[in-house]
Structure 1
């Protein structure tokens, strides 16, 4: 494939992802057909399938484009930061606060949560690409914190679950009820209180 053909293919692929972003956001995953995406950009359905052989794979790539860069930065920070675990956990909560307040970033979560019953494969995509990696990184962080005597309990995975559960709960809350349900200022206070109480309970 020459340079021009590669450029055309890249542009078409991006067109499809952009159309998916628009339609998934408006119609949901289940309510969007590959035909809808083809119609949106003025091509036939086989053209879309030339780039993505299933809607699930298209969702996965769209999901990565929406979230992966920022999320990868967070995971890299958790895994490699020389900051104390207390500082890292504060940064985690600040990052999730910003992510939750972005309706664009929240859309994939909304689809995964609201459509889990009819499209369980999408929930698995979200879990595998994000929550499983997040849990693993926080668990490793707390293992290091135990070795450095920052935390007083030996079960790092239990602490990881305790720490991330309120984050997951707030994601569910905002995706289901929307931004009118809880004031962002209250979310910030909730995260601050969670951070303070977690370290009050488990710090050495």
Structure 2
């Protein structure tokens, strides 16, 4: 599945031409930035993708940096809105690990199959100068909070393995999901395959294994270590 840059025609949906042109410039920038990176993104490439003259970009954005900052901020904001919407549409009694499953799918499907903006944001997050990171970092913290709540709910319900540190586990999962933008090739495996594999790895890595019938629930690893210490002869 290959993402196709959006095409917008002036005068459609009652939008003014200037707003549509601005949107076309942003779409084109997201497309170029997601493929060529921060250092390789040039306004001439953006103009060619948007099918406008390069000097016209300055009518809408004062500089290349302002344009890239807008795309980066939009990328993480749109991801946050998409994943939150998917979670909000789940039944209220959805189990915590099932909610994490849903978030894994929503993240990957949006990152890899829907939005050039999000791909651009993820791939270029480490390349931005500090002055361009303020809005992006603010939205990234909000997105991290969404995932923190998912993991906290899983921990509170007993679904999360007791030997895991939730913050470390969350950061590792989010990092792995985002890194898919760097290596995934739709010609090698389908997006559905990537999603199912990720869900299996995340669930089996995070979830407390169910106790066999007749077995008592085993204490978590830290609890076993504490008990062993207390029972050791003085």
- Given candidates 77, 88, 98, the residue that maps to 2:99 is 88
* Residue 161 of structure 1 pairs with residue 171 of structure 2: no
Structure number with greater CO (CA < 8 Å, separation at least 6) is: 2
- Given candidates 83, 88, 91, the residue that maps to 1:74 is 83
Tell me, yes or no, if the aligned pair for 1:96 and 1:167 is still in contact at 8 Å: no
Question: Unaligned stretches of 5+ in structure 2?
Answer: 1-10, 211-216, 218-234
In structure 1, the residue matched to 2:60 is: 51
In structure 2, do the counterparts of structure 1 residues 66 and 54 end up closer, same or farther at CA, with 3 Å as the change threshold? same
* Residue 175 of structure 1 pairs with residue 181 of structure 2: yes
Question: Unaligned stretches of 5+ in structure 1?
Answer: none
Shift of 1:92: 0.9
Shift of 1:159: 1.0
**For 1:8 and 1:148, how far apart are their aligned partners in 2?**
52
TM-score, reference length from structure 1: 0.66
In structure 2, the residue matched to 1:133 is: 142
In structure 2, the residue matched to 1:197 is: 205
TM-score, reference length from structure 2: 0.59
**For 2:82 and 2:114, how far apart are their aligned partners in 1?**
19
* Residue 29 of structure 1 pairs with residue 38 of structure 2: yes
Superposition CA RMSD, Å: 4.0
**For 2:135 and 2:154, how far apart are their aligned partners in 1?**
30
2:62 alignment partner, SS class: coil
In structure 2, do the counterparts of structure 1 residues 170 and 74 end up closer, same or farther at CA, with 3 Å as the change threshold? closer
In structure 1, the residue matched to 2:120 is: 108
1:28 alignment partner, SS class: helix
1:42 alignment partner, SS class: coil
2:40 alignment partner, SS class: coil
The Cα offsets for residues 129-153 of structure 1, whole Å up to 9 and x where unpaired, read as 34x2222112233444555565586
In structure 2, do the counterparts of structure 1 residues 195 and 13 end up closer, same or farther at CA, with 3 Å as the change threshold? same
